[in-house]
Amino acid sequence: MKLNQTPVTQHTFEGFTFFLKRDDQLHPHFSGNKARKLMALLEVEDPSVTHLIGYGSPQANSLLSLAALADMKGWQLEFYVDRIPAWLKETPIGNYREALNLGAKVLAVSELVSEPMHPSEYIQLHRSGEGGLVVPEGGRTPIAEKGVAGLAQEILTWAEEAQQSNLIVALPSGTGTTALFLHKHLKPHGIEVVTCACVGGTDYLIEQFKELGETDFPTVLQPETKHHFGKLYPQDYQVWQSLLEQTGVEFDLLYDPLMWRCLNIGGHKTGVSRCSISIRAALSATRVCCPAINANMAAK
């Protein structure tokens, strides 16, 4: 089961050469940065832990990753969601079906309590007892640092072996956990990390950074217009399609196009003006790849 040490491949997009950190080649149950975030949990050897407890949506990538982790460790996964659509219960598909096949219990909070309650609140009130290990939504937890630090070291090793310098690492953010800890471990080596907020906007992303206990943050680039997560924008699809055609790599449609648009590759001015890396994952279920743009991107 491959959970680290992924290769780096070279591509060209809109005339710019970049390198891609291929975390899409990690085990499919651990989509992209989930393998990095959950690495520390794979090493837990505590006989008192019997349950893994998480929350999110019934098709979350984290649901499948946590289900696979629990299966490997011999734990029971309890994954709490707001509600499960009737059609999905009747015809399970995607991450939901795969998680059920791995033995996960996916529980709708709306069916457990009479009053509206967020899954995280329900867990805090009813499932934070002995034997349970709680993982926040999206793996946003300090325990993610160890695996992300490993990713940072892989980037540093590659940069040294490939004789690449003056790099910038860029990746789009959901909770921002990966970007934050990459920044922490790459900044001492002179490598800047830039990101953009795909969920909730820049203010929300900064709050997520603060909740992880850090005070020094990666650079956050902002799109020219407000971006609603999960909405299919024509320009996002066009970027995604162009990336596929020009690189032969299928990037994540929900996250990656916004990062490329914030970098303004393809004829628009960008604030990133030196030889750079951008990190993000390729393929629809993954979360981490490393495009490195070796050009003055302000030139276009």
72-115 pLDDT tens trace: 999 999 999 999 999 999 999 999 999 999 999 999 999 999 99
CB 62 within 8 Å of CB 33: no
Q: Note the CATH number of domain 39-134.
A: 3.40.50.1100
Q: How far apart are CA 160 and CA 151, in angstroms?
A: 14
CB atoms within 10 A of CB 54: 28
pLDDT above 70 as % of the chain? 87
Where, residue-wise, is CATH 3.40.50.1100 in the chain?
39-134
pLDDT at 32: 65
Q: What is the pTM of this model?
A: 0.82
- 182-198 mean pLDDT: 95
What are the angstrom distances between the C-alpha of 35 and each of 146, 156, 256, 288? 11, 19, 18, 10
pLDDT at 300: 26
Continuous segment of H or E residues that includes residue 169: strand 168-173
The token duo for 139 is 């793996």
Fold classification of 8-32+143-299 is: Rossmann fold (3.40.50)
